[in-house]
Amino acid sequence: MAQFVLRRFGFIAVLLVLVSIISFIIIQLPPGDWLSAYVSALRTQGAQVNEAVIEGLKQQYGLDQPPVLQYFKWVTNIVLHGDFGFSFSYGRPVSDLLAERLPATLFISILTIVITYAIAIPVGIYSATHQYSPLDFLFTFLGFIGLSVPGFLLALILMFFAYKYFGLSVGGLYSSKYMGEAMSWDKFVDMLGHLPIPVLIISLSGTAGLIRVLRGTLLDEIRRPYVDTARAKGLKERTLLWRYPVRIALNPLISTIGWLLPAVFSGQTIISIVLNLPTVGPLLYEALRGQDTYLAGSIVMILAFLTLIGTLLSDILLAVLDPRIRIEE
Amino acid sequence: MRHVVRFVFTGLIVVTLMVGRSTASSGMAQVAQAQDAKKPLWGWTTVAEYEKATGKKLPAFNESPMLADQVKAGKLPAVDKRLPDEPLVDNPFEAVGKYGGSLTLGQVSAAIGYPASNFTTFESLFSLGRDGNTVVPNIAKGWEFGDGGKTFTIFLRKGLKWSNGDDFTADDILFFWEDILNNKELQPNVPTRFAPGGKPMNMVKVDPYTVRLEFSVPYYAILPNLSSVVFTGCQGDFFEASKYLKQFHKKYNPNVEADAKKAGFETWVQYLGAKRYYWYNARPDIPTMGPWHIVKSVPEGSVLERNAYYYKVDTAGNQLPYIDKVNATIFNDAGTLALKMVAGEYDYQDWSTTVSDYPAFVEGADKGNYKVFMAPSLWTSIAAYSVNQQYTGDKADAEVLQDIRFRKALSYAINRDEVNQVIALGKGQPFQATVAPSASYYKAEWGTAYIEYDVAQANKLLDEMGMDKRDSDNFRLRKDGKPFSLIVSDVKDAVPVKMGELMKEYWEAVGVRTVLRATDRTLMGQQFTSGEFMIAGWAMDGAGELPVGIGTNSYLQGNQWGPQWYAWYNSNGAAGQKPPANVERMLTLYKQVPLLGPDEQKKALTEIFDIWKEGLWRIGTIGQVPKPGIVRNGLHNVDTNTFTDNADVGIGTFNRHYQFFWDNPK
């Protein structure tokens, strides 16, 4: 086992180098650089930016250096100093920007994951054990809607109705008057009022998929001979269900648990943009759009790292939880 | 993504309008009436001038309770110590206000701080009166031209202070000139604005409160060039907080490279860059001269507090601004902005709005507790189509674009009345892309040239070009019998969403096969330089008299429609291509414009716009399209009949947010 983990870490290191190169190339691919993107953004707003000012900025940001040199400087600093560089747009170190957004991101992500599981697992089991019952049809119907309607569209519609009929304020994690203030009781209460829509929408999109997967695998499992055997031996229906088929049906959930790591880190990008949530996702989106090289590159690197670690965790967890799975050399 | 958001949002608004039609009439009552009352032009340079002009005595200086508390606690000097020796006396738009409360404004993104950053922190050396034309004192209390326009002297206020309490003196202007603009590591070339006649100006510190600029040629446009026109004359454009910035500058801090590395930057140049103020991206900690300064940047936006050292008082002796705090929240895109405005999240917002959202704003007015107003615009075209005269694609296609008959035909083919109805609810005006009609030298024929909707004339012109043969789809063939497609680069955010589709419809109706190509704005920016496009829409901005007069209107320099000529203009003939006679005349004249006295300038501009009219390189659609804005009920001193798209004239110049006050400040 230890050897397996060590070897996987070796692979991870190699993969990360490749990811860093590819992500840096991809960020450089679109025409122009951060500055030209920034200037054109200003210009669409009707601001005429002087050519001489642009020349000065180009020199200031070191954008006249060749990309290969920029890449090596960036990677060296990450490896040697844990320094992810600085964001052109914000004029601040990348690590500061991430640190500022992580608490809200983790809070929303973890809350939604808990809610996703809390809804998906019972409903999935119910649907499988009561196949073709009216409630199963209802859940299936809702599940397919949740699967097929993009989260951001749902967010828009919900925001609209929340505003139209309940007068709820749209977007954000709390009212603007609490912006920049330390967490207080008032601010917390205000935040609770803003939470339902984002949490509901983000959980819903995750829930639908999970219900389908769980229902499918569980349906396969409860028709297996070992279930009949257990039943014939007089095990109670409920005990039987929870002890054997459900545990196996949870395997797909465990094998995808690793993917949660990057998801928790980034938050739901598009939904966050629509709902104006201060998570890491919109930061990545804006960085990519604005060609903010080091910021975008660093987030992609972190996401890649978390994905790789998450996959490793899933593999280990599966081996631990399911005795049928062996890690073979 | 944003188009989808916008599309869905618009759809929802339409649904609401249909559902809520019964309440629409009451919403209309909320529309603010244009304020006809005579506006105060601005104020008085000093207390002495105020007392002389009005015969009244200015009461003792007063300050916000928020600051009075800090003074009492010993954290801040008293108000008369904070104000300069000669504060500016500002004339409130409606009334002397009350202190307190906070204002919620919007900002585009974390990296683009306006409109809020400009409403709150922008302050220029000189400013403009409410008429948008008269230059008035601001940070500086006066100016003087000498030697037939070859020298320009700036007089500063004694005891003037930055938001952190540092003195504002001539050194702040000299630091910018000597250590920023003339430092080759920071700035490769001195901007042409400060090098009239091709020679960089000379700057002399006469005393701590007097600076003299010396030019090699008479340079009258220096005054509007420091008066907030197109954001000029502000911090980062003509002066800097020198005492603060010196710690990040190599000349003054030998350890700056190490400091920069420690702070996460590669070079001191980047470090200094991150600590400078930009009108489009103000950042915390940097001292400003504006009525508010940023105290904190958070992922949701910026938190601002009043500048305790702001140098303006009202006619009752109250130090401005009235409102203590400003929160600027990020809206990211126009769709989200409109939604937030409808929901009543902003106290004041008139930037980046679209006339088509007007009904939605009116609909939300009661519930959102705000008033809606329609603010006039200086743009002569909400979208003007630049026809590339140096198309790098097919040669025969390029020839078609160079044919004036083709451009006239495209212009005649546009049904501008319909465009006005579809895009602007009929509130704009069919208009050619030219100078704003408010310009003193304006000729009516410039705005009306080739704007008649005349399909027959368009067809006739195209036939004359030899494009009279058609293919099986009934589209015109080129003179050489090959098919012709007009590729329209469609940049979202730069032109209204439906504009491209309308153009396609009109141009196909006269037999020109038209293809819309959605183009990212960054890519478009590059293509404007390289010439790899045929025709592209962009607003005719910078069209007001002042921006045109100070020489910043890039369209008159060939930008967008003549890439090689634009390069020729900007490099003084070193790069690009020499343009044909008429274009060369126009470009050469425009280079002269900032140097000319008022009368000669008008003469030159008249000739320029005569050439411009005949060239028709940018085909206008509809202009003077008002922009809807909203203002919270109970907020006063708000001018709702002022220009909004005032990138042209210095945003924040017209509505002076430091005059805003609440009925019931909370």
What is the rounded (10 degree) CA torsion for B231, B237, B239, B245? 120
**What are all long-range contacts of A166-169, with beta carbons under 8 Å and residues at least 24 apart?**
A167/B367, A168/A193, A168/A197, A169/A193, A169/A194, A169/B343, A169/B345
Q: According to the model, what pLDDT value does residue B535 have? A: 97
Half-sphere exposure of B606 (CA within 13 A, CB side): 11
Q: Tell me the residues of chain B between 80 and 119 that have a Cβ less than 8 Å away from chain A.
A: 102, 104, 108-112, 114
3-state secondary structure of B385: strand
Q: Which residues pair with B43 in a beta bridge?
A: B90
Residues of chain B with C-beta less than 8 angstroms from the C-beta of A177: 102, 104, 327
Q: What is the mean pLDDT of residues B520-534?
A: 89
* Helix intervals (H) in B510-628: 521-530, 545-549, 563-570, 581-592, 598-615
Q: Does A50 touch chain B (CB under 8 A)?
A: yes
Check residue B657 and report its DSSP letter.
G
Q: According to the model, what pLDDT value does residue B416 have? A: 97
Check residue B264 and report its DSSP letter.
T
Burial track B474-508 (b if 16+ CB lie within 10 A, e otherwise): ebbbbbeeeebebbbbbbbbbbbbebbebbbebbb
Q: According to the model, what pLDDT value does residue B650 have? A: 52
Q: Which two three-digit tokens encode residue B633?
A: 């009920």
Do the bridges between strand B135-137 and strand B126-128 make them parallel or antiparallel, or are there none, so unpaired? antiparallel
Least confident of A249-263, B22-36, B256-270: B22-36
* A158 vs A165: CA distance, rounded Å: 10
Residues of chain B with C-beta less than 8 angstroms from the C-beta of A176: 104, 300-301, 327, 329, 345
Residues of chain B with C-beta less than 8 angstroms from the C-beta of A91: 273-275, 281, 283
Q: Does A31 touch chain B (CB under 8 A)?
A: yes
Q: What is the mean pLDDT of residues B282-303?
A: 90
Contact B214, B149 (CB under 8 A): no
The reply to whether residue A45 touches residue B647, judged by beta carbons under 8 angstroms, is yes
Choose among B296, B524, B541: nearest Cβ to A180: B296
Helix (H) or strand (E) holding B366: helix B358-368
Task: Tell me the ipTM for this assembly.
Answer: 0.74
Q: What percent of chain B has pLDDT over 90?
A: 67
Q: Which two three-digit tokens encode residue A249?
A: 């049906």
Residues of chain B with C-beta less than 8 angstroms from the C-beta of A41: 108, 112, 521
Count of pairs with CB atoms under 8 A, one residue in A, one in B: 194
Half-sphere exposure of A184 (CA within 13 A, CB side): 8
Handedness of CA B588, B590, B594, B596 (dihedral sign): positive
The answer to whether residue B500 scores a pLDDT higher than 90 is yes
Other Cβ atoms within 10 Å of A163 Cβ, number: 22
Residues of chain A with C-beta less than 8 angstroms from the C-beta of B4: 152
Burial status of residue A92 (CB atoms within 10 A of its CB: 0-12, 13-18, 19 or more): buried
Find which of A95, A105, A164, A181 to mutate to test the B interface (most B CBs within 10 Å of its CB).
Answer: A164
Q: What is the mean pLDDT of residues B161-190?
A: 93
pLDDT in tens, B321-361: 999 999 999 887 777 788 888 888 899 998 878 888 899 99
The reply to whether residue A57 touches residue B231, judged by beta carbons under 8 angstroms, is no
Highest mean pLDDT among B259-273, B353-367, B575-589: B575-589
Q: What is the mean pLDDT of residues B28-41?
A: 49
Find which of A158, A190, A274, A292 to mutate to test the B interface (most B CBs within 10 Å of its CB).
Answer: A274
Closest CA to B463 of B403, B533, B506, B416: B403
Residues of chain A with C-beta less than 8 angstroms from the C-beta of B17: none
Q: Kindly indicate the confidence band of residue B649, based on its pLDDT and cuts at 50, 70 and 90.
A: low
* B220 vs B211: CA distance, rounded Å: 16
Q: What is the mean pLDDT of residues B542-568?
A: 91
The reply to whether residue A100 touches residue B298, judged by beta carbons under 8 angstroms, is yes
Distance from CA of A48 to the nearest CA of B (A): 7
* B202 vs B565: CA distance, rounded Å: 30
Comparison of pLDDT for B101 and B191, the residue scoring more = B101
Closest CA to B292 of B663, B666, B660: B660
Contact B406, B462 (CB under 8 A): yes
CA distances (Å), A101 to each of A155, A266, A283, A284, B159, in order?
21, 10, 9, 11, 41
Q: Which residues pair with B152 in a beta bridge?
A: B145, B213
Lay out the sheet containing B151-156: strands in order across: B140-146, B151-156, B210-214, B202-207
Comparison of pLDDT for A145 and B248, the residue scoring more = B248
Find which of B17, B350, B522, B553 to mutate to test the A interface (most A CBs within 10 Å of its CB).
Answer: B522
Q: According to the model, what pLDDT value does residue B648 have? A: 55
Please confirm whether the linkage preceding B321 is cis (ω < 30° from 0).
Answer: yes
Residues of chain A with C-beta less than 8 angstroms from the C-beta of B16: 164
Contact B62, B316 (CB under 8 A): yes
Is the full-model pTM beyond 0.90?
no
3-state secondary structure of B434: coil
Comparison of pLDDT for B7 and A19, the residue scoring more = A19
Q: What is the mean pLDDT of residues B48-70?
A: 95
Q: What is the mean pLDDT of residues A9-24?
A: 88
Residues of chain A with C-beta less than 8 angstroms from the C-beta of B345: 169-170, 176
The reply to whether residue A46 touches residue B339, judged by beta carbons under 8 angstroms, is no
Comparison of pLDDT for A201 and B599, the residue scoring more = B599
Helices vs strands, H then E, count in chain B: 23, 25
Q: Kindly indicate the confidence band of residue B666, based on its pLDDT and cuts at 50, 70 and 90.
A: confident
Contact B279, B233 (CB under 8 A): no
* Helix intervals (H) in chain A: 2-28, 34-44, 51-60, 67-81, 94-129, 134-148, 151-166, 185-194, 196-221, 225-232, 237-243, 245-249, 251-255, 257-266, 269-275, 280-289, 293-321
Choose among A91, A167, A283: nearest Cβ to B283: A91
Closest CA to A104 of A300, A280, A282, A284: A280
Q: Which are the contacts of B592, defined by CB distance < 8 A and separation ≥ 6?
A: B604
Q: Tell me the residues of chain B between 412 and 431 that have a Cβ less than 8 Å away from chain A.
A: none
Q: According to the model, what pLDDT value does residue B55 have? A: 93
Rounded to 5 degrees, what are φ and ψ at B343? Answer: -75, 0
* B301 vs A180: CA distance, rounded Å: 9
Find which of A69, A73, A176 to mutate to test the B interface (most B CBs within 10 Å of its CB).
Answer: A176
3-state secondary structure of B539: strand
Q: Which residue has the tokens 């054997």?
A: A244
Handedness of CA A122, A123, A129, A130 (dihedral sign): positive
Cα separation of the two ends of chain B: 38
Residues of chain B with C-beta less than 8 angstroms from the C-beta of A60: 186, 269-270, 272-273
The answer to whether residue B73 scores a pLDDT higher than 80 is yes
* A203 vs A212: CA distance, rounded Å: 14
Comparison of pLDDT for A249 and B654, the residue scoring more = A249
Comparison of pLDDT for A234 and B412, the residue scoring more = B412
Q: Tell me the residues of chain A between 207 and 226 that have a Cβ less than 8 Å away from chain B.
A: none
Residues of chain B with C-beta less than 8 angstroms from the C-beta of A43: 494, 521, 525
The CA-CA-CA angle for residues A169, A171, A174, to 5°, reads 75
3-state secondary structure of B106: strand
Comparison of pLDDT for A116 and A181, the residue scoring more = A116
Please confirm whether the linkage preceding B115 is cis (ω < 30° from 0).
Answer: yes
Find which of A45, A65, A283 to mutate to test the B interface (most B CBs within 10 Å of its CB).
Answer: A45
Check residue B222 and report its DSSP letter.
G
Q: Tell me the residues of chain B between 378 and 397 that have a Cβ less than 8 Å away from chain A.
A: 379
Rounded to 5 degrees, what are φ and ψ at A262? Answer: -60, -35
Contact B376, B626 (CB under 8 A): yes
3-state secondary structure of B281: coil
Q: What is the mean pLDDT of chain B?
A: 89
Closest CA to B220 of B153, B154, B151, B149: B149
pLDDT in tens, A121-130: 999 999 998 8
Q: According to the model, what pLDDT value does residue B137 have? A: 95
Comparison of pLDDT for B378 and A125, the residue scoring more = A125
Alpha carbon of residue B280 to chain centroid = 10
Highest mean pLDDT among A143-157, A170-184, B136-150, B261-275: B136-150
The reply to whether residue A180 touches residue B339, judged by beta carbons under 8 angstroms, is no
Q: Does A81 touch chain B (CB under 8 A)?
A: no
Q: Which residues pair with B154 in a beta bridge?
A: B143, B211
Contact B625, B357 (CB under 8 A): no
Distance from CA of B185 to the nearest CA of A (A): 7
Q: According to the model, what pLDDT value does residue B31 have? A: 36
Q: According to the model, what pLDDT value does residue B186 have? A: 86
Do the bridges between strand B210-214 and strand B151-156 make them parallel or antiparallel, or are there none, so unpaired? antiparallel
